[in-house]
Amino acid sequence: MAPFAMFPLGSVLFPHMPLALRVFEERYLVMMSRVLGARPAEFGVVLIESGREAAGAEAQRRFRHGTVAEVTELGETDGMLAVLARGGRRIEVVEWLDDDPHPAAIVRDVPELEWDPSLAPLLAQAELVVRRTIARASEFVELPWDADVGLSDDPVASAWQLAGIAPLTPLDQVRLLGSRSLRDLLVGLIDLTHGAGEVLTAAWTAEDDLDAELASLGEGLATGEGAHRPGTDTETETAETVDDPDSTDRTDSTDATDDPEETHP
């Protein structure tokens, strides 16, 4: 098997989903020049398990399951190469090779998921759960997808697109990427999206409770109630807030388009 160009990222690419990259690292510019010299122009995308995107193989751990990305459009943005690609077939890494200068691996294709008409109710349920969760979550946080985003008419493609737009963590996404059947994908998607919705709801409730508690404390301090006075045993507690620890800069950013259908799933 021939070496396959690989692009480890901090996000998961699903089949039938768009991928936007801004490439500026020399090793990936070399990779793109090689990729574009072949037909089809494609490379593999896997999720980074640990380490930074800018790090080399010796400083990264990568998941084995990934997706082939086929380049559909090229451009230039702020002096960087803008690449638009689309997720195709799934792959599994058999062996990682030495960087030359970009990551490369020996890969094998993973069997395509097959549609069965008996899965139609499960697909409809998955779509309902995902869209409702997005609608609820978008009231509090900014999400890359709208609840009414269009999907493919093909049932297998739409199932993958639902997995791609659901507000899940990368670890949940890579778990879905390894699904062995369409039923497994849909059942896992429903369960994980329900769980994500519960976590988000709990976080919103806790934040609202904290805001109410701080407001009450502020009112008490303003009126002198509950404040510590010399000679009394009353103590006050202070609440601290911290910035989001997960907010980090990216070296090669991936941007999602507004509608997976707009780039022809």
Which tokens hold the place of 143?
Answer: 């999400």
| pLDDT given at position 251 | 39
* pLDDT tens figures, 137-149: 888 888 899 999 9
Range name among 15-24, 29-38, 46-55, 149-158 with the lowest pLDDT average: 46-55
Which amino acid, one-letter code, is at 118? Answer: S
Spatial separation of the C-alpha atoms in residues 50 and 60, rounded to whole Å: 6
| pLDDT given at position 183 | 98
* pLDDT tens figures, 246-255: 433 333 444 4
* pLDDT tens figures, 91-101: 999 999 999 99
Kindly state the average pLDDT of the residues 147-155. Answer: 97
Coil, strand, or helix at residue 2?
coil
pLDDT at 264 over 60: no
* pLDDT tens figures, 49-71: 975 555 555 557 899 999 999 99
The H-assigned helical ranges of 43-181 are 120-137, 155-165, 170-177
Spatial separation of the C-alpha atoms in residues 8 and 3, rounded to whole Å: 15
The DSSP code for 98 is P
Domains of the chain: 4-111 (2.30.130.40), 117-197 (no CATH)
| pLDDT given at position 208 | 54
pLDDT band at 197 (very low <50, low <70, confident <90, very high): confident
pLDDT at 162 over 90: yes
Kindly state the average pLDDT of the residues 39-49. Answer: 96
CA-to-CA dists, residue 245 to 59, 60, 64, 144, angstroms: 21, 20, 27, 20
pLDDT at 185 over 60: yes
Which tokens hold the place of 206?
Answer: 């806790």
Spatial separation of the C-alpha atoms in residues 265 and 15, rounded to whole Å: 9
